[in-house]
Structure 1
Amino acid sequence: MRRAVLTAASTSALIVLLLSLKPHQPAGLSDDPAQAGVAPAPSSTGHPKRGGHPTDGTYTGAPISTRYGTVQVAATLKAGRLTAVKVLRAPSENGRDREIAGYAVPQLTREALSTHSAHIDAVSGASYTSAGYIRSLQSALDRSGV
């Protein structure tokens, strides 16, 4: 009987302790840029051409720090539509990081070009890289004014 009471009290105390802990949010996935490890954004590199669409050009996205490294992309727009995405930085600290980026980045780029936006699905097995790619792409698009 004593063991049952002791076990129940210990379990209850552990549950209360676990529920009182604040959940950990990995770097680069916070909604608050101040907490996300985002470096100050340089001005856009897009320059409209005479007679061209006002958003034509290439815009560099913010570098997004993730658990496995920094992700940064540049987006090229023509006639207000996303026509190319160049990955400037991707996690590459070790072979596994390069392997994940190697299969995730092309999938993310294909999907971004097909939707002409940053509203794309993450690649399974590359959650952090996907989140960094999407946030950097969105910041580039934000700079373009699209």
Structure 2
Amino acid sequence: MRRITLFVMSTVAALVLLFSYRTSTGATLPGTETAAAAPGVVPDVTMTPAASPGTSSKTRQVRATTVNGTVAQTRWGPVQVQVTIVDKKITDIRALQHPTGNSRDERINADALPQLRQQVLEAQSTRIDGVSGATVTSGGYRRSLQAALDAAHFG
């Protein structure tokens, strides 16, 4: 009877330990957490383009709107973008957050993020193809971008 009780208790303890183990996939490493930028419009910047030679001396001020998208929680980690809009045109987009849980994530995103940026600048919308091999990041990028464009009333 003692042996059976000992066997059952050992099995239960092993199962509890097994199910409470947390894997490192998708988690951030201690000390590598990045704070999310607050979603929404960043204070406006007004730019005055320089007059080119041979044009009138009148200059007009161009209003640049910079907006942070919401943080899209993906399977591999958070994705957040910041978009800059000038004269109703997307002029810049950058990733504020992207999955960085391991070296594989770093390699994938080093290749995918510039491609996603280029696709958005060409499409001027969230209607982009995404990047093969970075499907999860592409989806998060698209969701965060859509939130930013909605906040900027773009479209």
Alignment-derived partner of residue 66 in structure 2: 58
User: 1-side partners of 2:153 and 2:124: how far apart?
Assistant: 14
Q: Percent identity?
A: 40
Task: List alignment gaps of at least 5 residues for structure 1.
Answer: 1-38
Of 78, 81, 100 in structure 1, the residue corresponding to residue 89 of structure 2 is 81
Q: Is the 8 A contact 1:71 1:89 kept in 2?
A: yes
Instruction: Return the structure number with greater strand share.
Output: 2
Q: Displacement, 1:44?
A: 1.7
The separation in 1 between residues aligned to 2:105 and 2:87, in whole angstroms, is: 35
**How many aligned residue pairs are there?**
106
* Alpha-carbon shift at residue 87 of structure 1 (Å): 0.8
CA contact (8 A) 2:72 2:143 kept: yes
> Which whole-Å CA distance do the structure 2 matches of 1:96 and 1:136 have between them?
22
1:44 paired residue number: 41
- Where does the alignment leave 5 or more consecutive residues of structure 2 unmatched? 1-35, 48-59
Deviating above 6 A after TM superposition, structure 1's stretches of 4 or more consecutive aligned residues are: none
Q: Deviations over 1:49-106 (max 9, x none)?
A: 497567x311000000000000000000000100000110000110001111111111
2:77 is aligned, of 49, 69, 73, to 69
Contact 1:46–1:144 under 8 Å retained in 2: no
